[in-house]
């Protein structure tokens, strides 16, 4: 991409569809001395995503949002095909949030048909969602590494909503020396406590009520350790009971160390409680630092 082709971040939001153009834009911002922020998403944006954009804007001069439903991170029986998409609405929300550029690549532009290099994190991904969704974090790490190489961000903002993902990205950045500062932003919730998620759109009225079981289970875990350390198995059991009482099918209910993501024997302040459960056909996750 020749220099000078891209306007430096200003009033109008650019919509970028190809990797080459994304790199060109990012190089142009950096040449102009601007700090670039990146917020990777799969689209169908909600206030949680926009809070990450606001955080990126506080720290950077030009913020790019990527919207890409990454086929490589979905398992064969997962919801890649029916994952909710609304490009026009997403672009409007990004415009309103002061985003400088939206990167909206087609899958074919991101992966060569014979792509054969992937990024694999080997420790933090062993439990939790990594154990339940084989190959998921290989897809996540690979696409995030690619997005870092395309958007050349100084800062990338991720949500604590995906706690394991954020930990794995931090590890990838450390171990592969990406020159990127990773910021992990808090979980935005609906007024009744449900963590915002693009997948909440799948929930029927009754399921939406039952989905409160996740945040309630986590509140129970926090309560259990409020007075001091508590045997972690009892906390796990208590969380599973709350999920089941809401007619949710438990995928996992765990308490782990925030650093290693290994299960702990005693649940204490600073550990993390995480739940994943099916509400009908929809798999929901949530977590809380105790």
Binding stretches for ligand AMP (CB under 6 A):
41-42, 48-49, 51-52, 158-159, 161-162, 185, 187-188, 195-198
Considering the complex, state which of residue 40 and residue 127 has its C-beta at the smaller distance from ligand AMP: 40
CB 37 within 8 A of CB 64: yes
Considering the complex, state which of residue 185 and residue 284 has its C-beta at the smaller distance from ligand AMP: 185
Smallest gap from Cβ 265 to ligand AMP, in A, equals 28
| Distance, CA of 30 to CA of 64 (rounded, Å) | 13
Smallest gap from Cβ 102 to ligand AMP, in A, equals 13
Considering only CA atoms, which of 125, 208, 211 is closest in space to residue 168? Answer: 125
Residue 49: active-site member? yes
268's CB contacts (< 8 A; 6+ apart) are 225, 228, 229, 230, 290
| Distance, CA of 232 to CA of 67 (rounded, Å) | 38
Considering the complex, state which of residue 201 and residue 226 has its C-beta at the smaller distance from ligand AMP: 201
119's CB contacts (< 8 A; 6+ apart) are 138, 141, 142, 144, 145, 172, 176
Considering the complex, state which of residue 41 and residue 230 has its C-beta at the smaller distance from ligand AMP: 41
| Distance, CA of 170 to CA of 180 (rounded, Å) | 10
Smallest gap from Cβ 124 to ligand AMP, in A, equals 15
| Distance, CA of 170 to CA of 175 (rounded, Å) | 9
Smallest gap from Cβ 195 to ligand AMP, in A, equals 5
Considering the complex, state which of residue 164 and residue 230 has its C-beta at the smaller distance from ligand AMP: 164
- Count CA atoms closer than 13 A to 205's CA, side-chain side: 0
Smallest gap from Cβ 154 to ligand AMP, in A, equals 17
Active site residues: 49
């Amino acid at each position: 991409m020749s220099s000078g082709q891209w306007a430096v971040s200003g009033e109008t939001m650019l919509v970028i569809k190809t990797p080459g153009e994304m790199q060109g834009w990012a190089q142009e911002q950096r040449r102009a001395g601007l700090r670039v922020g990146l917020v990777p998403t799969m689209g169908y944006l909600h206030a949680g995503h926009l809070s990450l954009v606001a955080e990126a804007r506080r720290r950077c001069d030009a913020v790019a949002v990527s919207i890409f439903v990454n086929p490589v991170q979905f398992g064969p029986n997962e919801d890649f095909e029916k994952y909710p998409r609304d490009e026009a609405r997403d672009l409007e929300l990004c415009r309103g949030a002061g985003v400088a550029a939206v990167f909206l690549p087609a899958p074919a532009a991101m992966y060569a048909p014979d792509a054969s290099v992937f990024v694999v994190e080997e420790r933090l991904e062993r439990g939790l969602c990594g154990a339940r969704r084989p190959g998921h974090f290989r897809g996540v790490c690979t696409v995030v590494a690619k997005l870092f190489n395309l958007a050349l961000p100084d800062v990338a903002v991720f949500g604590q909503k995906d706690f394991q993902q954020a930990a794995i990205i931090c590890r990838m950045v450390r171990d592969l020396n990406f020159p990127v500062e990773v910021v992990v932003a808090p979980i935005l919730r609906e007024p009744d406590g449900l963590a915002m998620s693009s997948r909440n759109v799948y929930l029927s009225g009754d399921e939406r009520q039952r989905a409160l079981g996740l945040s309630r289970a986590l509140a129970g875990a926090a309560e259990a350790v409020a007075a001091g350390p508590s045997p972690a198995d009892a906390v796990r059991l208590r969380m599973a009971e709350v999920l089941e009482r809401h007619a949710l099918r438990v995928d996992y209910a765990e308490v782990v160390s925030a650093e290693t993501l290994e299960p702990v024997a005693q649940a204490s302040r600073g550990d993390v409680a995480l739940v994943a459960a099916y509400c009908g056909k929809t798999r929901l996750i949530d977590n809380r630092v105790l």
